[in-house]
Amino acid sequence: MTKTPRTRFLLAIAAVAAIAATAGCSGSGDDDRSTADVGASSDDAGRAAVEEPAAPQGSLAGGEAQDAAATAPDADPAKQLEVPGQSVISTGTISLESKDVGDARTEVRKVIDKYQGTLAEQETTTGDKGEVTSARLVFRVPSARFADATLDLEGIATLTSSTSSGQDVSTEVVDVEARIRAQRKSVSRIEALLARAESLEQIVTIESQLSSRQAELDALLARQIYLADQTSQSTINVYIEQPSQDSDEPDDDTADGFLGGLRDGWDSFVSGFGAVLTVVGFAIPWLALLLLIGIPARVLLKRRTRATA
């Protein structure tokens, strides 16, 4: 009676052990199959990566794709369109009249020095006595002080005309800056393609693309420098001339009566006398030539006449 329960207990343990062993074997088999499947997938992916034909490193297709990515707009378009400030190219022209052009020119230079301007061009004309009769000066002053400098220059002498104009180039400044950023990325990508080129044909093709894009980048940089100079410094043209002498003389219609007739008669006399002097001056050389030839001819003729008599 004591052996039967023990035997049943041992049989129960054996059955549990057999079930556990069976479950372990099936689990390990599944794991092995999973591992094998993963390895096969990895091998297939590796073979696909190896067998897939890669695009040529220096091909134009790769260059165009990379260039398209380079010229694509930034993630935030608002940053590209953001204007840091208004950019205006200001130009002014001032015409003055002064009896002493030299002094007026000196005063103009003082005003320009006051506003920290620079002289870009200067042209002067002098009269018979060496005095300055007209002057043209071109100045560059900071754009922030353009209006004040123009107002001071207009008060130096008699103002005859004054014009000023402004060209807003804010949009162009932003556009050039954005194009420069995109072009620099494009040039960098073309240089990377050139570094990975393997054949001579690829090198020649990529270098041609690089040269054209670098030239375009240089042109954009030059335009950016020009815009920066023109918007930071304004141009003022100053013309100084002596007053017209016709304005100082009385009008012909105001002189009449005896004085008008006397003046007209005197002018006619001077004009006629001048005409006579002109004729005499023209005839003197011919008279001298006739005398030089006629006197010896007359002496000869008299001698022959006496000899014949």
**Percent of the chain whose pLDDT exceeds 90:** 28
The answer to whether 234 and 99 have CB atoms below 8 angstroms apart is no
Q: How far, in whole angstroms, is CA 225 from its chain's centroid? A: 6
Summarize the confidence of residues 168-187 as an average pLDDT.
93
CA 201, 202, 205, 206 torsion-angle sign: negative
The label of the residue with tokens 């005003």 reads: 111
Which of 44-58, 139-153, 292-306 is least confident?
44-58
Q: What is the pLDDT of residues 63-109, one digit of tens each?
A: 444 444 444 444 343 344 444 568 889 999 999 999 989 899 999 99
**264: pLDDT strictly greater than 90:** no
Distance CA 249, CA 101 (A): 21
- Tokens in use for 222? 């030059």
**145: pLDDT strictly greater than 50:** yes
Residue of higher predicted confidence among 228 and 298: 228
How much is the pLDDT for 290? 82
- Tokens in use for 257? 């009566």
**25: pLDDT strictly greater than 80:** no
Mean pLDDT estimate for the chain:
74
CA 130, 136, 141, 145 torsion-angle sign: positive
Q: What is the pTM of this model?
A: 0.49
**142: pLDDT strictly greater than 90:** yes
Those residues with Cβ within 8 angstroms of residue 96's Cβ, 6 or more apart along the chain or in another chain: 104, 153, 154, 156, 157, 158, 159, 160, 238, 239, 240, 241
Burial of 150 (0-12, 13-18, 19+ CB in 10 A): buried
**191: pLDDT strictly greater than 80:** yes
**35: pLDDT strictly greater than 50:** no
How much is the pLDDT for 87? 87
Q: What is the pLDDT of residues 201-224, one digit of tens each?
A: 889 999 898 999 999 999 999 999
Those residues with Cβ within 8 angstroms of residue 75's Cβ, 6 or more apart along the chain or in another chain: none
Q: What is the pLDDT of residues 234-257, one digit of tens each?
A: 999 999 998 876 544 545 544 566
Distance CA 115, CA 150 (A): 10
Residue of higher predicted confidence among 232 and 296: 232
